[in-house]
Structure 1
Amino acid sequence: MNDRRIWWFFIVPCMLVAVAVVMSLAAVFQYSFREFVPGSLETGGFTLDNFYSIGRPVYFLVILDTLLISFLTAVFCLLLSYPVAYALVRTQSEWVRTLLVILSITPLFTGEIVRTYAWMLVLGSDGFINSTLMALGIVSRPVQFMYTKFGVIVALVHFSMPVMIIMLATAVSHVNRDFEKAAANLGAAPLTVFWRVTVPLTMAGIVASTVVIFAWTMSAFATPQLIGGGKVLMISNLVYLQGLSSFNFPIAAVLSAVAFIVAVGSLALVQPFVTRLERRVAEQ
């Protein structure tokens, strides 16, 4: 089999999948230009009013909450994942590396709903955290973790950390250790070497992984649905309520389009920045 046939062997399935995805998105987005008919599963004629309805507080505040939760999840995920990724790459102990790999990768083999239910047991009024705090006498009554943005963010950070660790570990592994040794030989302290050399050299990976987690978190459904309990809504939950509870398919389609545009747009906007960082690092 020649090279051209090999390329077509991989390209044709990818093209078919891409066409199917584009057609599916087009089928969903066309509802955003249709008029909602209350009490009917059928939609009306062409209208742009659905896009103006997004400015209503009931929708706009959910969009803002989604952006805020996704941003905070990405930031906290970065702060917690970077030390793990750094230790995973730089440790000299094989058993420590193996342990970190197991702890980092194992959650990927557990379903989102299973992990979310586990966090419900941890964050609940009679859960592990509240039971421990009350047993130690720190609080006299359970602290409200469930049905709050804090609880949703905690569960989403745990859900996203494996992917973040893998991406950051890749970035750290590509750092040229000679730069760190040169800085140390010039008298820089280990912490200074880390902040002034290692972190800047992994900045492309930091930016890319943060944006990926931000875009990925925007589509979260099960975690905010269960941990939020209807009090903390994200765009996916609102799409579910509008599309399958109220049968307002046009508004559900508009909300889906907003989430899609923000997620894809953030990835597209950051790509030139990451490319410049990688080029700058390569030139050093």
Structure 2
Amino acid sequence: MTRRPFLGWFVSPAGLVALGLAAALAAVFQYSLRAYIPGSLDVGGFTLGNFADLLKPIYGSAFLQTVALCFETAVITLLLGYPLAYALVRTRNKALKSVILIIAVTPLFLGEVVRTYSWMIVLGNNGFINSVLMGLGLIQKPVQFMFTSFGVVVALVHVTLPVMVIMLAAALSHIDRDYEKAAESLGAGPIRAFLTVTLPLSMPGIIAGVTTAFAWTFSAFATPQLIGGGRVNTISTLVYQLGFASFNFPFAATLSVAGLALTLVVLALLKRVMRPLEKLGEH
């Protein structure tokens, strides 16, 4: 039997973090079962009325809009990130590889709030895009990008793109080039070799990137709050409004629990739907 004298020391920090997260989740869950007392920071007795209120149309639409934003962000991030990751892995020019890596990873070194404010400058009525379009005479008045779902998705894609590129690059770097050469030797062109060999073998990275982007976007707060300006309701923005504007902490906790449950359900469904695609990368 192999002895691992340092295993306990290595595992203990993760165990402490897990205990802290479990305690926090338990506290949020018990808050979700308490009654709200208007005008007071104290909570009442236990009740299931908070979960019944989730059936109201305003909260149902917020759940649907959140899921839609997550899917749109994940798909667009995948479409933009795959070519970047492919170029990052396959290019032989070290200078070009460094440039692609810097472009892809640099956003990670900026905070989410900083990146969101930069997009507010770009997407505003007097921002960069509208100024260029009006300067070229293509539009007569500014296009409304701020406070729209489109603006929120654009900013969220910028937030999730570095993670997507890293995961896709890791998957592509493990693909043996001999498989593609074998396909080409059998008469397949570059496009067919990519579609029949490279793309299926990179499916594990695609699935990991999409699920991560979805989960990351679902919990995003600063970007929907600042870019959406209160007009694009998501679960995170509603939790903020209920908790810090109305001081309705019990219902804010209920939304948090429901959002976490919905995330787990959607990710489980994604895994089931993508399981056949994942098997393509195993053959």
Q: Match for 2:61: what amino acid?
A: L
Aligned residue-pair number? 282
Taking the aligned partners of 1:76 and 1:274, their CA distance within structure 2 comes to: 17
Equivalent residue number for residue 68 of structure 1: 68
Equivalent residue number for residue 187 of structure 2: 187
Q: Match for 2:218: what amino acid?
A: M
Q: What stretches of structure 1 of length at least 5 have no aligned partner?
A: none
Q: Check if 1:166 corresponds to 2:161.
A: no
Instruction: Tell me by how many angstroms 1:273 deviates.
Output: 7.1
Equivalent residue number for residue 23 of structure 2: 23
Taking the aligned partners of 1:169 and 1:194, their CA distance within structure 2 comes to: 15
CA contact (8 A) 2:63 2:235 kept: yes
Q: Secondary structure at the match of 1:45?
A: strand
Equivalent residue number for residue 248 of structure 1: 248
| TM-score normalised to structure 1 length | 0.94
| TM-score normalised to structure 2 length | 0.95
Q: Match for 2:236: what amino acid?
A: S
CA contact (8 A) 1:208 1:270 kept: no
Kindly tell me: are residues 271 and 15 of structure 1, through their superposed partners in 2, closer, same or farther at Cα, counting changes over 3 Å?
A: farther
Q: Check if 1:13 corresponds to 2:13.
A: yes
Q: Check if 1:106 corresponds to 2:90.
A: no
Q: Check if 1:126 corresponds to 2:126.
A: yes
Q: Match for 2:233: what amino acid?
A: L
Equivalent residue number for residue 95 of structure 2: 95
Equivalent residue number for residue 263 of structure 1: 263
CA contact (8 A) 2:74 2:214 kept: yes
Q: Could you tell me the percent identity over the aligned residues? A: 54
Kindly tell me: are residues 279 and 79 of structure 1, through their superposed partners in 2, closer, same or farther at Cα, counting changes over 3 Å?
A: closer
Kindly tell me: are residues 3 and 268 of structure 1, through their superposed partners in 2, closer, same or farther at Cα, counting changes over 3 Å?
A: farther
Q: Match for 2:207: what amino acid?
A: V
Deviation string 1:118-141 (CA, Å, 9 cap, x unpaired) is: 101100111111111111111111
RMSD, matched Cα = 1.7
Deviation string 1:188-247 (CA, Å, 9 cap, x unpaired) is: 111111112111111121112101100110011111111111111211110011111111
Taking the aligned partners of 2:59 and 2:205, their CA distance within structure 1 comes to: 33
Compare 41-50 and 145-154 and name the one that shifted more: 41-50
Instruction: Tell me by how many angstroms 1:280 deviates.
Output: 5.7
Taking the aligned partners of 1:272 and 1:62, their CA distance within structure 2 comes to: 25
Kindly tell me: are residues 79 and 277 of structure 1, through their superposed partners in 2, closer, same or farther at Cα, counting changes over 3 Å?
A: closer
CA contact (8 A) 2:77 2:164 kept: yes
Equivalent residue number for residue 137 of structure 1: 137
CA contact (8 A) 2:201 2:280 kept: no
Equivalent residue number for residue 79 of structure 2: 79
Deviation string 1:45-71 (CA, Å, 9 cap, x unpaired) is: 111111111110121111111111111
Equivalent residue number for residue 33 of structure 2: 33
Deviation string 1:5-52 (CA, Å, 9 cap, x unpaired) is: 211011112111101110011001111111111111111111111111
Q: Match for 2:161: what amino acid?
A: M
Taking the aligned partners of 1:202 and 1:65, their CA distance within structure 2 comes to: 30
Deviation string 1:172-200 (CA, Å, 9 cap, x unpaired) is: 11112121111111111111111121111
Compare 173-182 and 215-224 and name the one that shifted more: 173-182
CA contact (8 A) 2:50 2:254 kept: yes
Equivalent residue number for residue 212 of structure 2: 212
CA contact (8 A) 1:113 1:222 kept: yes
Taking the aligned partners of 2:272 and 2:222, their CA distance within structure 1 comes to: 33
Q: What stretches of structure 2 of length at least 5 have no aligned partner?
A: none
Instruction: Tell me by how many angstroms 1:269 deviates.
Output: 5.0
